[in-house]
Structure 1
Amino acid sequence: MKTLVKSNGFPTLRSAMEDFFNSDFFNKPFMDTESLPAVNIRDEENSYELEMSAPGFNKEDFKITSEDGLLTISAETSSEHREEKKNYTRKEFASSSFSRSFSLPDNIEEEDVKASYKNGLLKLSLKKSFKALHNKKEISID
């Protein structure tokens, strides 16, 4: 139980332990999952299919970049509601954002990534390149 006044004297071992285990440190998750959307990645024969759950955004809110083998998906949105009456003003606002990055395997054609967003689900299709898989090289032993 939290109180405004912790004690009126020296803390006892029991009160120190209660303070420690009742602190906010143990009531918060290690990583705040609300700021990182859930992602599923499937390895298909000709592509990698990525699905990200990101409700509450519009497709214009997303920025998807691919640079030097790193795929970054970020989004930011905000809204504001203002209501003015004769004797008061009420203003509400909300904002939400996230950014996630993924290291791309070498067999991805970075120029051929397709993305779509519908009903809170962002889908990316990352086409595989089979160029590197067809290059055969014999390695000599010294």
Structure 2
Amino acid sequence: LFDDDWMDFPFDRDFWGKKNPLYGKNAKNMMKTDIREHDNGYEVDIDLPGFKKDEISLELENGYLTVSAAKGLDKDEQDKKGKYIRRERYAGAMQRSFYVGDTLTQEDIKAKYDNGILSISIPKKDAKAVETKKTIAIEG
């Protein structure tokens, strides 16, 4: 559970190996995640400081829970307040996926966003029982 293939991904480069200034050397600090296991489920806390609730989305598809966050720059607003000489605050999009199993539905997963932390509760569900081999008697 919770396969995370992104830990070794070079976020400062795009798919073709070209430098991506959006992430840069701070990529490893994005979406820091803590996962705690309990008897009846998991608690996932993801750091998303500076995001508004409506800039964050959760999707469940084919057993993968994907957390996405996007923060844009409003060019008009930027022009009203003057020209930036340097921008260090984050603007862009990021996402992270976790395998949570095929038995969960969106109604099973609960999420809350408070003080820059997205808290997700994921219940443990038993995997679908695999039917055991049953012999059929042959008459005659």
CA root-mean-square deviation: 2.8
* Corresponding residue of 2:70: 76
Gap runs ≥5 in structure 2: 1-23, 135-140
* Aligned sequence identity (%): 29
* Corresponding residue of 2:19: none
Q: Which amino acid letter does the alignment assign opposite residue 127 of structure 1? A: P
Matched, 1:112 2:108: yes
Q: What is the Cα deviation at residue 131 of structure 1?
A: 6.4
Structure 1 residues 47-91: Cα deviation after superposition (integer angstroms, max 9, x where no partner): 11110001010000011100001111001012443337xxxxx24
Structure 1 residues 136 and 32, CA, compared in 2 at 3 Å: closer, same or farther? Answer: closer
For residues 96 and 116 of structure 1, the distance between their equivalents in structure 2, rounded to whole angstroms, comes to 22
Q: Mapping of 1:31-70 within 5 angstroms? A: 32-34=27-29, 36-70=30-64
DSSP 3-state at the match of 2:54: helix
Alignment: residue pair count: 104
Name the structure, 1 or 2, with higher relative contact order (CA <8 Å, separation 6+): 2
Q: What is the Cα deviation at residue 127 of structure 1?
A: 1.7
Larger Cα-atom Rg: 1
DSSP 3-state at the match of 2:69: strand
Q: Mapping of 1:1-142 within 5 angstroms? A: 32-34=27-29, 36-80=30-74, 81-83=78-80, 90-92=82-84, 95-106=91-102, 108-130=104-126, 132=128, 135=129
Indicate the structure with greater helix content: 1
CA contact (8 A) 2:71 2:92 kept: yes
CA contact (8 A) 1:114 1:124 kept: yes
Normalised to the residue count of structure 1, the TM-score between the two structures is 0.59
Gap runs ≥5 in structure 1: 1-27, 85-89
Structure 1 residues 139 and 119, CA, compared in 2 at 3 Å: closer, same or farther? Answer: same
Q: What is the Cα deviation at residue 139 of structure 1?
A: 6.4
